[in-house]
Amino acid sequence: MKIKSLLLGSAAAMFAVSGASAADAIIAAEPEPVEYVRVCDAFGNGYFYIPGTETCLKISGFVRMDVGFASFGANSDTYTTNVRARLNVQARESTELGDLHAYIRVQGDGGPNNAGTNTFGYDANAVIDQAYAELGGLVFGYTENTFVTSKNGGASGFGSHSDNGLAYGYSQANQIGYNFTGGNWFANIAVNDDGDTATYMPDVTGRIGGVFGGMTIYAAAGYDQSAENFGVKLGLNTDIGAAGNLIVQGFYADGPTRYGANARPTFAGLTVWTPEWSVLASYQHQFAPNFKGSVGGQYSYDYYAAGVTGNAPLGSASSGTDSWAVEGVLVWYPVDNFEVRGEVRYTTFTGGGALANNDNTTGLFRLQRNF
């Protein structure tokens, strides 16, 4: 009897506890919905929406290693290695005034040793290589000047098909400008800070051109206020058949200026030499979807007697020195986003002056992973 009473009492206690627990049960709240990253296809591949905004973001870049060589003068053969990392960040969104775009390029170069010390390597110092913004046609920031290229000019920019493009006056500047685009034509004008603190006058650069049946024809000009000289460039870029592309450019400069077909010979240090006239041509052929090659050449006539170091105007007397340059390039993509590149260039200077009778051969072998 006592056992029966004990069992009944235990059962009653269990039901009482169970009832109390059911009454006091805590029901977990439903999780908040998560906004996953969404693809933004309004501006091309690779963009995604920043969560909670209408701004589209794109991240790209590369890691590469170059093995370079140079041969110039008597018994002056050298080789170098360089590693570069680059990170590009773009932000875009549509507004009532047009697309709002920002671009930042961060990059750094690392080398095999630190000159003057016993260390066997040094860390790359990252720099802001480019930073600019656009709203509709307005462009402002630090990037290539419009003598070199423009954001609305398509195939009208830079030089030959090689990495360094032969000699076409590459430079960057703090600038503000405007792009005009309509139908099959484009134009751009910009004012550039040349670093001359003695005057408020900026450099002025501009570009105009159009696309006609697959052929891009263009003209560019720049006024260098420090040197009080100007340069002009005429060019075309056109496809030839299904696999070929041809670039032709002609240059004129009325004195040593950054706006010309400037050469920086290996043996001349940091001095830039400007020819009065120059013509450049380059042909690239796509042999297979993952393999292409190009050949190019350039003739420059009558370099000015004084080179341009930094922003210093150094006169415009004729030196009587000319130059020839030829180059060859092969590029192979064994897999997507991986590039194997080889380039070689030969340049010879003839006539009188400081550059006369100096030949140099330069080249590189490159491995590059893009993303």
Provide Rg for the chain, Cα atoms.
30
* Residue 55 falls inside a structural domain: no
The overall average pLDDT reported for the chain is 87
The residue ranges of DSSP E strands in 267-317, in sequence order, are 275-288, 291-304
Count how many domains the chain has.
Answer: 1
* Residue 224 falls inside a structural domain: yes
Q: Taking CA 109 as the corner, what is the angle to CA 105 and CA 110, rounded to the nearest 5 degrees? A: 150
- List phi, psi (to 5°) of 19: -65, -40
Q: Which domain holds residue 183?
A: 137-370
Mean pLDDT of 95-116: 86
CATH of the domain at 170: 2.40.160.10
**What is the pLDDT confidence band of residue 368, given thresholds at 50, 70 and 90?**
very high
* Residue 83 falls inside a structural domain: no
* Residue 27 falls inside a structural domain: no
Percent of the chain with pLDDT over 70: 82
What local confidence, expressed as pLDDT, does residue 72 receive?
76
CA contacts within 13 A on the Cβ side of 197: 0
* Residue 88 falls inside a structural domain: no
* Residue 273 falls inside a structural domain: yes
- List phi, psi (to 5°) of 2: -65, -35
* Residue 270 falls inside a structural domain: yes
Mean pLDDT of 243-253: 98
More confident residue, 317 or 228: 228
Is the model's pLDDT at 16 over the cut of 60? no
Map tokens 């190009």 to a residue. Answer: 294
Mean pLDDT of 38-50: 94
Query: For strand 229-240 and strand 215-224, is the pairing parallel, antiparallel, or unpaired?
Result: antiparallel
Is the model's pLDDT at 146 over the cut of 50? yes
Is the model's pLDDT at 185 over the cut of 80? yes
* Residue 82 falls inside a structural domain: no
Mean pLDDT of 330-338: 98
Residues contacting residue 30 through CB under 8 Å, at least 6 positions apart: none
Rounded distance between C-alpha atoms, residue 322 and residue 304, angstroms: 10
Mean pLDDT of 133-149: 97
Exposed, middle or buried, 330 (CB in 10 Å: 0-12/13-18/19+)? middle
Residues 298-332 pLDDT 10s: 999 999 876 655 434 445 678 888 999 999 999 99
What local confidence, expressed as pLDDT, does residue 197 receive?
79
